[in-house]
Chain A
């Protein structure tokens, strides 16, 4: 979706390294969701951010929402092969409602042991 840009498109890191994935919106964000997907499979919910400046963590994954920049970042600390997959951000835009999320194109993460 051009309304939601993810960067980078793909990322290859060595196990143990930190990494950041960004998600930038061209429209006002009401909520921002992060999902992880294994190739050809369903989406696994990671985190949901509701307010500007909000930061959430789960295990070694931290996500932040910058309301001013309409941008979210997902940071993985000390990456492991189990972190490999496709990371998708999904936006709940202020002008819509319901479970109609607009997704970015995803970031393919490879973690080499």
Chain B
């Protein structure tokens, strides 16, 4: 079975541009979460989506948005890119709402560089 897949793997953008990152969860998983990992730090929670609805949001500006599609895949959008948005963006999927003690499965991430 395929794991969590993310595309693209690497991306280079310039300040002010817009970017869209994509994630396909493990087959049968209905919850997708997005994390940002800046070099040298642990991942930080951005969003969780379940059944196409936002179920949680971390401390990120409105430039960050996401959505989930009927097939449970998800997109993360970032507008007006800043240099500080350079990071590894990780997508994680889980079977249900991700309530207690559910295992999160992570993709390999999209490395975003903003110049």
Contacts and interface: CB of A to CB of B under 8 A. Distances in A.
A110 to B, nearest CB: 15
Contacts of A48: 101, 103
Interface centre among A41, A98, A102 (most CB of B within 10 A): A98
Interface residues of B, number: 32
Given A43-B106, A48-B101, A102 B40 contact: no
Contacts of B42: 1, 4, 88, 90, 103-106
A1 B4 CA distance: 25
B43 A40 contact: no
Interface stretch (B13-21, B68-76, B77-85, B91-99): B91-99
A82 interface: no
A40 B111 contact: yes
B100 A42 contact: no
Interface centre among A31, A90, A97, A100 (most CB of B within 10 A): A100
Contact of A99 (B4, B33, B40, B44): B33
30 contacts: A4-B42, A40-B109, A41-B108, A42-B106, A42-B109, A43-B43, A43-B90, A43-B92, A44-B106, A48-B103, A50-B100, A50-B101, A88-B42, A97-B100, A98-B50, A98-B55, A98-B56, A99-B31, A99-B33, A99-B56, A99-B92, A99-B102, A99-B104, A100-B33, A100-B45, A101-B104, A103-B43, A103-B44, A105-B42, A106-B42
Interface of B: 4, 31, 33, 40-45, 48, 50, 55-56, 58, 88, 90, 92, 94, 97-109, 111
